Amino acid sequence: MAKRKCLLGALALVLLAASGGCGGASAPVQDYGEVGDFQFTERSGKVIEAKDLKGKAWLASFVFTRCTGPCPQVCATMAKLQEKLRDLADCQLVTFTVDPERDNPMELKNYADNFRADANRWWFLTGTEEALHQLIRQRFHLGVGKNPAEAAKPGAEFFHSSKIAVVDKVGRIRGFFEGTAATPDGFLLPDFEKNLGDLENLVRQLATEKP
């Protein structure tokens, strides 16, 4: 009996330690899976592969240059984050076009210049529509596609997410954050600044992790 009590006591201590003490269990680490391999062309003409991001925490956004919807807002948010995270050497921003047929490197360069995107810290990538859309759907778990003809007005040819994904140094997605401060109807999101702060904190945490 004494031996059984001893074993039960030891088990209780192990469970207590695993839960973080009397305060309860700590929040689980978010992990939405691995981005995996890809190969796309940057606005500079350089070929960028997933391995080029190994060892860096990075942000991913999804836009197209002719977009009259949320894309300029998403890029404005990325520009703000570029400044906020400028002190982090192990941090990269990456924007993927969802309209690669028209968004060639020159178009992306002109668009990137509008947001003062640092050519070294913030990449704009293009490739084939199939490869890009497959990456967004299957790896980032976000919606993307062409709008039906009746809805595909100039600047609205594609639907896509306005989320910004945060990826860790080994290429695993660790969070999604809203990239716009307002809804499509123009209503301001009251928690947007907190959302931005949470994103920045996560990136800073990931940037200090050892890969």
pLDDT value at 21 more than 60: no
Selected residue with higher pLDDT from 163 and 152:
163
Domains and their CATH numbers in the chain: 27-208 (3.40.30.10)
CA atoms within 13 A on the CB side of 125: 29
pLDDT value at 29 more than 70: no
Average pLDDT score over residue span 115-120: 98
Q: Residue 56 has what pLDDT?
A: 97
Q: Residue 182 has what pLDDT?
A: 77
Residue percentage of the chain with pLDDT more than 90: 74
Nearby residues of 32 by Cβ (< 8 Å), 6 or more positions away: 141, 165, 172, 173, 174, 175, 176
pLDDT value at 164 more than 60: yes
pLDDT value at 39 more than 90: yes
Q: Residue 17 has what pLDDT?
A: 35
At 126-147, the pLDDT tens digits run: 999 999 999 999 999 999 999 9
CA distance linking residue 54 with residue 49, whole number of Å: 10
Selected residue with higher pLDDT from 40 and 149:
40
- Please, are residues 124 and 111 in contact by the beta-carbon 8 Å criterion? yes
Structure tokens at 89: 């050497």
Burial 56-94 (b: 16+ CB within 10 A, else e): bbbbbbbbbbbbebbbbbbbebbbebbeebeebeebbbb
Single out the residue of 125, 160, 157 nearest to residue 140, CA to CA: 160
Nearby residues of 91 by Cβ (< 8 Å), 6 or more positions away: 56, 57, 58, 59, 85, 121, 203, 207
CA distance linking residue 103 with residue 128, whole number of Å: 10
C-alpha dihedral, 204 to 85 to 138 to 192, nearest 10°: 90
Burial 102-122 (b: 16+ CB within 10 A, else e): ebebebbbebbeebebeeeeb
As beta bridge partners, residue 160 has 144
